[in-house]
Structure 1
């Protein structure tokens, strides 16, 4: 019996070792993510995670960031300080991401707002209040990889803009590889009203999708803009910084950022598709219809298998711990356990004696 108890504790010890090793591994592989519902100045997390450049400053008692001010050629940028190193991992693991932010743009004819992914070593200055607040050095180096989703409220023929109310995807240049008209979903980007935007990149299909709606509305089912692009192939193992940037050019447009969140998630190496070169995508190409993903059933099956395995492991752990700490053990060794003894039953006859007769007998 003693050897069995020792074996139980031994197995339980190695189970704990395995559990903590797996927990450490998962923490090491944890993907960076953050979320700001507002921009409270007293938040230590905000100060340690977010950097402000140019004219960007917290306003409204922390309810928003004022990206541009009311003077001409104002520009500001908000950047996440921690670089992302996981767009291309060893072993072929790639990363998908999703970002959400709410904002407003006043009615003046400014550049608008842009979500950017910039390579390590980007310049935090050197811009003159136009081109979304991106540095001239970055834009002039056409071979330098950078990615952007522009919310454009100014028509610029030199950049091939569709109009002054469009969304575009830029790869290494401010000339968009794909654009969509925001008027198609009955939105005015520079109405001064609060809007919300979702940007999602799926590494398995190498596709970027952009959705936009008024504040308070549900996330649209269909994207306003969709484009094939291989971001992991573009940046490879290079560190990437993410942020939001704005400028008003020769106007008084004010851009406000109310909230911002970002989540990076890893994709298994076996989920892949052939890369598509963004340079081959024509500006005038017809919108691509999103087809149901073939790997949907496989994802569901994988989730079911993992869920069942985790549930079984959890149940086994609970039963194992219960058997160790709560199961009653016999006081005596099993080889000397007390056996039941059979007793004979004998009838006992009781004779009732009258107390008065007993008293008379005593007197006599």
Structure 2
């Protein structure tokens, strides 16, 4: 019993350690009212402004940027940084669709933003960024599939991955309040995007995902920034942001450092190397194997003893019927 409790304690200690890894940067704004502290955390640019008594930010032609730079590696020893973000928004369109908006990750060393570029982001060569676009304008030069799609972009608005939102009964320009979850797992280098109507649950599976290695995009580890940027061009499109949260976390020690997408291994015909886990996990596995082995051995010995002793019966001499003694004298009378 003590061994069982020790194993459970070691397992939950490792699990809770991963959950309580120090968060490098985080914020949560459920509204942007005058009493909130968003001015010390977020910066507004262009035409971005607080509207509806702080109930929302209007980013029709503007952007909101998190002020603090985020390192790709953090802690001692240094570990990769993962992040997750969540926001709620709605968009309406008048006579002509605008570009929509993007969630963008960029380096402070790059002059990323240009008021005349798509989504307000510069199209100059050499500018590096990672973005998730919520595109409401079909642009042939980028190979857009329609004016209602979500795409993952890497330093170009020719998307690496794209999905038609109409296929899941969602519309960006429908004035419907939508919610978005974007997760980047540093261990697997996997970016996942989920979208659903406001009030609905977070989808179990991602709407789309892509393998992105941020450390190869910005190897200097000078830090990156995150923000939301919108540009409506000459349209009357309005983009409202109702809430926004962001959180980073360190990569747990036990997390696999290779891509977790099974498709990436298909057809390669190579042996998949198994990386060593931490000592606690190895100890747990070893203890479980030892416990199973000892249990099997104990069962075998018990069955053997039962076979040898329990089924044996004591050997007793066979009882013969006692023959009566005949008195010959009585017979002769």
TM normalised by structure 2 equals 0.68
Q: Which residue of the other structure, out of 151, 158, 161, is the alignment partner of 1:178?
A: 161
State whether structure 2 residue 116 is matched by structure 1 residue 133. no
Gap change, CA 1:212 and 1:125, over 3 Å in 2: closer
Gap change, CA 1:150 and 1:215, over 3 Å in 2: same
Tell me which residue corresponds to 1:204. 187
Take 1:38 and 1:243, find their aligned partners in 2: how far apart are those partners? 16
Take 2:231 and 2:145, find their aligned partners in 1: how far apart are those partners? 19
Q: Secondary structure at the match of 2:248?
A: strand
Q: Which residue of the other structure, out of 105, 113, 130, is the alignment partner of 1:117?
A: 105
Tell me which residue corresponds to 2:222. 238
Gap change, CA 1:289 and 1:197, over 3 Å in 2: farther
TM normalised by structure 1 equals 0.63
Query: What stretches of structure 1 of length at least 5 have no aligned partner?
Result: 1-25, 69-74, 277-286, 306-364
State whether structure 2 residue 148 is matched by structure 1 residue 155. no
Gap change, CA 1:250 and 1:112, over 3 Å in 2: same
Take 2:264 and 2:55, find their aligned partners in 1: how far apart are those partners? 36
Gap change, CA 1:234 and 1:270, over 3 Å in 2: farther
Take 1:52 and 1:122, find their aligned partners in 2: how far apart are those partners? 18
Shift in Å at residue 189 of structure 1?
A: 1.0
Gap change, CA 1:208 and 1:148, over 3 Å in 2: same
Take 1:133 and 1:235, find their aligned partners in 2: how far apart are those partners? 22
Is the contact made by 1:95 and 1:232 (CA closer than 8 Å) also made in structure 2?
no
Tell me which residue corresponds to 1:267. 251
Q: Summarize the alignment of residues 273-352 of structure 1 with structure 2, pairs less than 5 Å apart.
A: 273-274=257-258
Gap change, CA 1:199 and 1:289, over 3 Å in 2: farther
Shift in Å at residue 193 of structure 1?
A: 1.1
Tell me which residue corresponds to 2:89. 103
Q: How many residues align?
A: 251
Gap change, CA 1:88 and 1:275, over 3 Å in 2: farther
Take 1:32 and 1:61, find their aligned partners in 2: how far apart are those partners? 27
Shift in Å at residue 110 of structure 1?
A: 1.1
Is the contact made by 2:110 and 2:128 (CA closer than 8 Å) also made in structure 1?
no
Q: What whole-Å deviation, never above 9, does each CA across 1:103-138 have from its counterpart, x for those lacking one?
A: 01103411111100111134476412x51011x3xx
Tell me which residue corresponds to 1:57. 49
Q: Secondary structure at the match of 2:216?
A: helix
Q: Which has the higher helix share?
A: 1
Q: Summarize the alignment of residues 15-30 of structure 1 with structure 2, pairs less than 5 Å apart.
A: 30=23
Q: Summarize the alignment of residues 217-228 of structure 1 with structure 2, pairs less than 5 Å apart.
A: 217-228=200-211
State whether structure 2 residue 202 is matched by structure 1 residue 216. no
Is the contact made by 2:31 and 2:54 (CA closer than 8 Å) also made in structure 1?
yes
Tell me which residue corresponds to 2:239. 255
Gap change, CA 1:230 and 1:125, over 3 Å in 2: closer
